[in-house]
């Protein structure tokens, strides 16, 4: 029996630009070792595709974002994830307010500004 893959949730504001492409890249670079999803702290783009320029940028690097549909960060998403990865300090603060001080919220690199 193979070990369970670690579950990583990448979070940004609207799940429209930063977190969808970051999730794709992390999943691909993990070589299948991680199960990666993305979500947004705001419900602006639920069910909508990624921003057209992000789809185009992703394609330029060999990633396909055409099937992405925006998801809102909710209790189910939080329960699913082993690791919470925010794209910037502001998002990390909003997620920390939801999960409390005992659950770590990591920031992707030094943060990725909202385009």
Specify the CATH number for the domain of residue 98.
3.40.50.2300
Residue 88 included in any domain: yes
Full domain range(s) for residue 38: 6-107
Structural domain contains residue 32? yes
Tally the domains of the chain: 1
Cβ proximity of 20 and 65 under 8 Å: yes
Residue 113 placed within a domain = no
Q: Phi and psi dihedrals of 11, rounded to 5?
A: -125, 135
Task: Tell me the per-residue pLDDT of 24-44, one tens digit each, with 9 for 90 and over.
Answer: 999 999 999 999 999 999 988
Please report whether residue 36 resides in a domain. Answer: yes
- What mean pLDDT value characterizes the chain? 94
Give the C-alpha separation, 56 to 35, whole Å: 24
18 belongs to a structural domain:
yes
pLDDT, mean of residues 58-83 = 96
The answer as to whether 1 is a domain residue is no
Report the candidate in 79, 74, 3, 2 with the shortest Cα–Cα distance to residue 39.
74
Is 28 buried (19+), middle (13-18) or exposed (0-12) by CB count in 10 A? middle
pTM: predicted TM-score of the whole model, two decimal places: 0.94
């Amino acid at each position: 029996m193979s070990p369970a893959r670690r579950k990583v949730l990448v979070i940004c504001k609207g799940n429209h630009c930063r977190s969808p492409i970051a999730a794709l890249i992390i999943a691909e670079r993990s070589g299948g070792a991680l199960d990666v999803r993305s979500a947004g702290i705001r419900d602006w783009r639920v069910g909508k595709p990624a921003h057209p320029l992000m789809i185009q940028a992703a394609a330029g690097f060999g990633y396909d974002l055409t099937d992405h549909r925006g998801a809102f960060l909710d209790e189910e998403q939080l329960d699913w994830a082993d690791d919470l990865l925010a794209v910037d300090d502001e998002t990390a603060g909003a997620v920390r307010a939801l999960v409390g001080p005992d659950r770590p919220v990591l920031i992707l690199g030094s943060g990725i500004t909202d385009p």
